[in-house]
């Protein structure tokens, strides 16, 4: 039974991730609405919106756009499957980067002003968060001795004990990855002007639904990586990880409502400062231990 657990975890991820991410997104929207004195949508509204997109006809500018969006969705799903299957953390991150690259190429392929600006901003976001994500993977290796997720979760001490700096840095770039204010400069979950929705502005119907589906899978993956800081060989650690993930999501929701969007220069500067000082100091500490 134990040897089949990775396969079971992958199957649960593939089947349940859209529903889980939709529920998380719905709770986030309800919390946001309460903060603003509104009632808000139903918890599963994101799921119904996704189903509605897949029921509509797709209109694409060219065939390559469709292929690139499909590739984006495939690599996003593949990244999570490797992670929840206990695979190599570096492979997860490189595959996730490939997914983002395909989305950027899809925006560039349209040859439209807003899509091109959105693609440029997405590349800037990648420049901002990629160093911290790679440092986090290195931190897991230095603290546990392995890049394999299956080995990381078998430790007796939660990785966050040795990686507090990496955890804080990862939470910071998580705001960028999940497209929360003040760092949602490429595309946003909220209704904004065309320049902010440019990355996906020329997608429609099922093709747009695929990009949204990929985002749901990616959200579950990023929350799983957040929980990885707290999971050990003790089954009770899963409960602690879920509590930590819920706390991080609440803080991100609060940040999304409190802070206005910043310019891309500020985004790069803040992300690299956090990476250098918070991540770098923790990396130095781990190499000296």
Q: What is the DSSP track for 202-232?
A: T--HHHHHHHHHHHHHHHHHHHHHHHHTT--
Kindly state the average pLDDT of the residues 205-217: 89
Give backbone dihedrals phi and psi of 6, rounded to 5 degrees, phi first: -60, -40
Going by pLDDT thresholds of 50, 70 and 90, the confidence category of residue 3 is: low
Closest CA to 96 of 83, 84, 105, 109: 83
pLDDT for the residue 71: 95
Higher pLDDT among residues 180 and 151, named by residue: 151
Q: Which domain holds residue 190?
A: 2-288
Q: pLDDT at position 240, please?
A: 94
Q: What is the tally of structural domains in the chain?
A: 1
pTM: 0.90
Q: How confident is the model at residue 190 (pLDDT cuts 50, 70, 90)?
A: low
Structure-model confidence comparison of residues 239 and 186, the more confident one: 239
pLDDT (0 to 100) of residue 29: 84
Vertex 112: Cα angle to 109 and 116 (nearest 5)? 70
Out of 5-19, 41-55, 128-142, pick the least confident.
Answer: 41-55
> DSSP letters of 96-164?
HHHHHHHHHHHHHTT--HHHHHHHHHHHHHHHHHHHHHHHHHHHHHHHHS-SBHHHHTT-SS-HHHH-H
* Most confident of the ranges 29-38, 122-131, 181-190, 250-259: 122-131
In the predicted structure, residue 55 carries a pLDDT above the cut 70: yes
Higher model confidence: residue 17 or residue 196? 17
Query: DSSP state, 88?
Result: B
Q: State residue 136's pLDDT score.
A: 94
- Ranges 57-66, 149-158, 164-173, 234-243: which has the least confidence: 57-66
User: pLDDT band at residue 98, thresholds of 50, 70 and 90?
Assistant: very high
Most confident of 24-28, 166-170, 191-195: 166-170
User: 277 versus 4: which is more confidently predicted?
Assistant: 277
CB neighbour list of residue 14: distance below 8 Å, 6 or more residues apart: 77, 81
pLDDT at 192 over 70: no
Q: Which of 32 and 162 is assigned the larger pLDDT? A: 162
- In whole angstroms, what is the distance from residue 183 CA to residue 218 CA? 17
Q: What is the mean pLDDT of residues 264-282?
A: 91
Tokens of 198: 């440019």
Handedness of CA 254, 46, 20, 70 (dihedral sign): negative
Closest C-alpha to 60, from 124, 117, 106? 106
Q: Which of 28-32, 119-123, 274-278 has maximum average pLDDT?
A: 274-278
How would you class 222 by CB atoms within 10 Å of its CB: exposed for 0-12, middle for 13-18, buried for 19 or more?
A: buried
d(CA 43, CA 59): 29
Q: Name the pLDDT band for 73 (thresholds 50, 70, 90).
A: very high
Residue 208 confidence (pLDDT) above 70: yes
Spatial CA neighbour of 267 closest among 186, 168, 164? 186
Joined together, the tokens standing for residue 285 give: 């500490």
CB atoms within 10 A of CB 154: 14
């Amino acid at each position: 039974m134990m040897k089949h657990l990775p396969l079971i975890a992958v199957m649960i991820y593939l089947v349940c991730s859209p529903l889980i991410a939709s529920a998380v997104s719905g709770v986030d929207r309800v919390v946001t609405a309460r903060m603003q004195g509104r009632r808000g949508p139903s918890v599963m509204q994101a799921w119904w919106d996704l189903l509605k997109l897949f029921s509509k006809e797709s209109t694409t500018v060219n065939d390559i756009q469709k292929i690139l969006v499909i590739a984006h969705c495939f690599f996003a799903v593949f990244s999570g499957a490797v992670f929840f299957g206990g695979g190599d953390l570096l492979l997860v991150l490189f595959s996730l980067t490939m997914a983002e690259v395909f989305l950027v190429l899809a925006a560039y392929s349209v040859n439209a002003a807003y899509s091109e600006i959105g693609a440029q901003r997405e590349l800037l976001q990648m420049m901002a968060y990629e160093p911290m994500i790679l440092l986090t993977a290195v931190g897991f290796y230095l603290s546990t001795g392995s890049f394999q997720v299956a080995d990381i979760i078998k430790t007796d001490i939660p990785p966050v004990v040795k990686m507090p700096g990496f955890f804080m840095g990862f939470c910071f770039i998580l705001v960028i990855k999940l497209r929360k204010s003040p760092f949602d400069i490429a595309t946003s979950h909220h209704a904004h002007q065309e320049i902010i929705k440019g990355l996906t502005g020329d997608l429609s119907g099922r093709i747009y639904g695929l990009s949204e589906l990929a985002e749901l899978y990616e959200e579950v993956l990023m929350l799983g990586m957040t929980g990885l800081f707290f999971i050990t060989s003790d089954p009770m650690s899963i409960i602690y990880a879920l509590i930590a993930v819920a706390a991080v999501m609440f803080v991100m929701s609060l940040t999304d409502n409190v802070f206005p969007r910043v310019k891309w220069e500020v985004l790069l500067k803040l992300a690299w400062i956090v990476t250098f000082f918070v991540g770098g100091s923790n990396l130095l500490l781990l190499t000296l231990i």
